Amino acid sequence: MAIATTTPAPETGVPLVSQLAADEGHTAAELIEILAHCRAVHASADYRMLQAASLIHDEREEDHLSEIAGVDSGEASSMADLADRTDAARLGCGPRADFGPDGLQRAVAEVGAVLNLPPARAREIITAGADLRHRLPLTGHALAVGRIDLATFLVAVSRTRLCSSETIADVDAHLAQAIFARPPMSRARFTVMVDAIIAQIDSDALLRRRARAAADRKVSVRPDHHAPGQSRLSASLPMESAAEFDARLTVMSDEPHSSDPRTLDQRRADALVALSRGRLHLPCECDDCTTTAEPEQVQPATTTDAPTADEESGPEHAATHTCECHCDTAARPTFHIVVNLSTLLGLDDDPGFLDGNGIIDADTMRSLLAQAEREFIRPEPPTPDATGYRPSKKLQALIRAGELCCTFPGCSAPAWHTDLDHTDPFSTGGRTTRTNLKPLCRFHHRIKTFTAWRDHQDEMGTVFFQSPTGHMFLGNAYTGTDLFTALRSPPSPTDHPARRHLDALRTRQRDAHARLIEHNREAEPPPPF
């Protein structure tokens, strides 16, 4: 009897132990290289795991069909037998139901046992393996060589699931090309890039996805088996409905004063409960409100709130203002959509971008924007140095629309929920311009400000980060300017003497080459017919 185990044999475990012992003496810079190597090896192993799971499924399907063929050829022996088979099919009784679990179910049980996975996860692994071999082989190659990891590949599998068989090969080729042409990127940027490629090649897939999202909407509440006394609530909603719901919770959780003892997560949970009770406001629980409030009413108070997401961290940027916990009118939830004006006018059906969610089809986007507040932005030519610290609203919108999320490597925080950070600090002469500002979530903003991380931003908006060990990372390998090319900065003026000189040299070389070709044609006329 053979027992499957993941424990390495003694002869294979000794080198690993030696490596682990050696790691204790490595520097942080050397350990970074070990991390990168382990990531690539892990991705390659995941590729082989997916392939093995798919091959197991192939064999089990063949076994199942062989068993059926040995008992029932599938042919009706008489007209009466044919009628019985037809009636059973109408009732939903499959002709193979009497032969037990099919090949996929058998493979799911086997893969789940080996990998210690529940059936749903084992099925996902088998399906991804089939896609790796047959639908997305080029993208799968990126996983094999460690360019992407398993989670990223599963994103590609799920996003391309509704692509037609006629377009999936083109989608795979374009996606693989985009992966190998760009450095690694965050999950949010990768997801938008996949959806943008799908929208370009198979736009109907976005419509099919919208219909599927509407059909699969659901909410479930069940006990949390890992946290006694708690329950777990989950929901699957179309992204526009989810964005509206999330914005409503955000508005309600921001209503209490800054001295409210609850965390943001706790306030959002309480806001959800308040919504279930038909309330649109979240009562404040700070000492002043709880001691002076009458039943069902809290008196307004004046407090000093923390910096908003548009301000950089620091005590000098805190704002003092009057806040009322309970307004007569509920605050309006807000979410942000970026769209081409041509699409809004109905001249084309290019997709838009819903902040924090991703690509959204043109029809859904137009319906959401029907009653929305609109702000028209366009890239401006380079301007003189700005003297103020806080960017204008137009500049803030332009910078966030030009990105998709936080620009720190690997981060997916939504662009409209981030700080706008000066790459060259304002205190040391940094300008408040598009080429010196970028979105950073509060966590990474503090990491950049108070640690040895360094960053650089070029004129094209590319943002590089240098770690304390000296390693360089590109933070925004795919941006909003790739999705909306009209947001790209206008080219620099061409009237500089240096550029005029180089342009003149290229023109002379091109003209000389054209004259040489013409001379050769005249010297060697075509043969007579």
Query: Could you list the pLDDT tens digit for every one of the 529 residues in the chain?
Result: 455 544 444 444 557 667 777 878 888 888 999 899 999 999 999 999 999 999 999 999 998 888 877 666 556 667 776 677 677 667 666 555 566 788 899 999 999 999 999 999 999 999 999 999 999 999 999 999 999 999 999 999 999 999 999 999 999 999 999 999 999 999 999 999 999 999 999 988 888 888 888 888 999 888 888 888 888 888 888 888 888 888 889 889 988 988 889 999 899 999 999 988 888 888 898 888 887 655 444 343 333 333 334 444 333 333 323 333 444 445 577 889 999 999 988 899 899 999 988 899 888 888 888 878 888 888 866 555 556 888 888 899 999 999 999 999 999 999 999 999 999 988 888 888 888 999 999 999 999 999 999 999 988 889 999 999 999 999 999 999 999 988 887 655 556 788 788 888 988 998 888 888 888 877 776 666 5
**φ, ψ for residue 57 (rounded to 5)?**
-60, -40
* Same domain as 162, residue 260: no
pTM comes to 0.75
Non-local CB neighbours of 128 within 8 Å, separated by 6+ positions:
50, 153, 154, 157
272: in domain: yes
50: in domain: yes
CATH number of the domain bearing residue 406: 1.10.30
Q: Identity (one letter) of the amino acid at 287?
A: D
CA angle 171-174-175, nearest 5°?
Answer: 80
Q: Which residues of 138-176 are buried (b: 16+ CB within 10 A; e: fewer)?
A: bbbbbbbebbbbbebbbebbebbebbeeebbeebbbbbb
Q: What is the pLDDT of residue 517?
A: 83
Last residue of a domain, one of 122, 148, 181: 181
Burial of 44 from C-beta contacts in 10 A (0-12 / 13-18 / 19+): middle
- 444 C-beta neighbours (distance < 10 Å), count: 24
169: in domain: yes
Burial of 53 from C-beta contacts in 10 A (0-12 / 13-18 / 19+): buried
CA angle 27-463-502, nearest 5°?
Answer: 120
3 state DSSP class of 468: coil
* Same domain as 407, residue 318: no
Query: What is the Cα–Cα distance from 179 to 168, expressed in whole angstroms?
Result: 16
**296 and 284 Cβ atoms separated by less than 8 Å:** no
Q: What is the pLDDT of residue 51?
A: 96
In this structure, are strands 454-457 and 463-466 parallel, antiparallel, or unpaired? antiparallel
* Same domain as 177, residue 264: no
Last residue of a domain, one of 181, 202, 229: 181
126: in domain: yes
* Same domain as 151, residue 58: yes
* Same domain as 317, residue 403: no
Token digits of residue 350: 């290019």
* Same domain as 57, residue 140: yes
299: in domain: yes
Token digits of residue 142: 């990126």
Query: What is the Cα–Cα distance from 444 to 431, expressed in whole angstroms?
Result: 21
Q: What is the pLDDT of residue 78?
A: 73
CA angle 139-142-148, nearest 5°?
Answer: 105
Smallest CA-to-CA distance from 494 within 507, 479, 509 is with: 507
176: in domain: yes
* Same domain as 407, residue 291: no
Last residue of a domain, one of 160, 181, 202: 181
* Same domain as 50, residue 177: yes
**φ, ψ for residue 305 (rounded to 5)?**
-90, 160
Smallest CA-to-CA distance from 333 within 268, 400, 415 is with: 268
12: in domain: no
Place of tokens 């943008």: 196
Instruction: Name the domain count of the chain.
Output: 3
Q: What are the C-alpha distances in Å from 458 to residues 75, 174, 300? A: 71, 27, 47
Helix or strand run (H / E) with residue 36: helix 28-71
29: in domain: no
* Domain hosting residue 136, numbered range: 43-62+100-181
For residue 76, what is the DSSP state? Answer: -
